[in-house]
Amino acid sequence: MVTNDLTANRDRGNADKERRTEWRPDHFLPGPPKLWPIRPLGITKWLYHYLVPWNLFFLAVSAVVVVYLTPSMETMKTFRLDWIAFIFARNCAILTLFVSFLHVPLYVKKIQGFNRKYNGRWLSRNNPNFLFKNQVLDNLFWTFISAVPIWTAYEVLTWWMFANEYIPHVYFNEHPVYFLALLFASPLFLSVHFYFVHRPIHWPFLYRWVHSVHHANVNVGPWSGLSMHPVEHILYYSAVLIYWIVPSHPIHAMFNLMINSLSPAQSHTGFEKLAIKDGIEIPMEDYYHYLHHRYFECNYGADGILNVDAWFGTFNDGSPEAMEKMNQRVMSRQQKAQSEGQSS
C-alpha cells in the first residue's frame, strides 16, 4: 500500500522498519455512538468517558490559569512585552511539567517496559530522519521553537480582544445554560475542526512540505504530539478563532487552547495506559490515533469521542475488515490518479 506522495512512502517504509513487535488491544475500537433509539446506559458511558479523566483535567488547568496565572484585563488592554513574555514562560512551564509527567516514567525510567506499548521499539537515536539525529531533541525543537510561540500568539491576541471588549462576553450568572453548553461542546468542536484541518495536509504537496514533520514520528512519544511544522501549528491552533466570533468567556477560549496544547502529549504517549501502582492505571493514547500514525490513511480525527471519520468513511477500528477497506480505498484513489495522468 502506497500513496502518490514520495515522502509518505518513505515514512511508511520507516513504519515497517520501526515495527518489531506490535502490542494490540484485545478488542476493536468502538464505532460512533448511536443517537437513536436513545439508550440511557450507553449515553451515560459516553458522557463519562467524554469527561473523565482528561477533559475534566484540562478544564481544571484552564480555570487555574485564568484565575491565578494570567495578568489582569486592564494590563492586557495594551500589547506590552512584559505580560506577553509572562504568558509565553507560563505556557512553557505548564507544557514541560505535563509532558514530563508522561515522558519521564514511560521513556526515561521505563517503569512498565513495553507493557501496553503499541510499537515494540523505543524512541529513535542516531536517526537521520530527525533533526540532530535524535527524535526527542527534534520533537523538543519543534515544540518550543514553533508550537509554544504560535499557541502564545493566539492566546495573547485572544486576551487582548477580551480585554478591549472586541469579543462579546458571556457570564455564567447571566446565561448559565449557554455558558455550560458552550463549555461542554468545546472538545466536540475541536474534534470536527481537527479533522478538517488535518485531512488537507495529507494531500501530497502539503504532506511533503508540512505534515511530514509530524509523521516522521511513526513510533510516537509524548513530545511528538506538538512536533509539527509552523504552518500546521497555525492551522491547528486556529480553532480558538471560534471564540472571536461567538459570545463567550475567557474560560472557553482557554479550555480550547489547553486541550490543543496538552492533549497531544497524552494522545501520543505510544502506550494505551500508564500504570501508576497497585492496579491504578491512567488511560493514555487509544489505538485510534496509533493506527493513523501507523498507516497514514485512516483516523484523521482527534480521537474517537465524536468519530468524524465514521461520517466520511475513513474510520479504522483495527479489524481485518477495516484494514482491507482502507487498502481498497487507497488503491482505488491511486488507480484513478493513474488513469487521469494517462489521459492527460
Short-list 293, 141, 299, 103, CA closest to 217:
293
Kindly state whether residue 32 falls inside one of the protein's structural domains.
no
Cell of 330: 487507497
**pLDDT for residue 31:** 57
Asked if residue 30 belongs to a domain, the reply is no
**Domain contains 195:** yes
Is residue 142 in some structural domain? yes
User: Is residue 35 included in any domain, yes or no?
Assistant: no
In a domain, 34, yes or no: no
Residue 344 C-alpha from the chain's centroid: 39
User: What would the grid cell of residue 95 be?
Assistant: 507544557
**Structural domain boundaries enclosing 269:** 6-25+40-338
Closest CA to 65 of 331, 322, 256: 256
pLDDT on residue 299: 92
Which pLDDT belongs to residue 311?
87
Average pLDDT, consecutive stretches of 10 residues, N- to C-terminus, the chain (344 residues): 44 47 72 66 81 95 98 98 99 99 97 93 96 98 99 99 95 97 95 96 97 97 98 99 97 98 96 86 86 91 77 87 88 76 64
Q: What is the pLDDT of residue 336?
A: 75
| Local structure of 204: helix, strand or coil | helix
Structural domain total, the chain: 1
Please, how many CA atoms are within 13 Å of residue 311, restricted to the half-sphere of its CB? 12
Q: Is residue 106 part of a domain?
A: yes
Q: Is 301 helix (H, G, I), strand (E, B) or coil?
A: coil
pLDDT of residue 3: 42
Q: Residue 294: inside a domain, yes or no?
A: yes
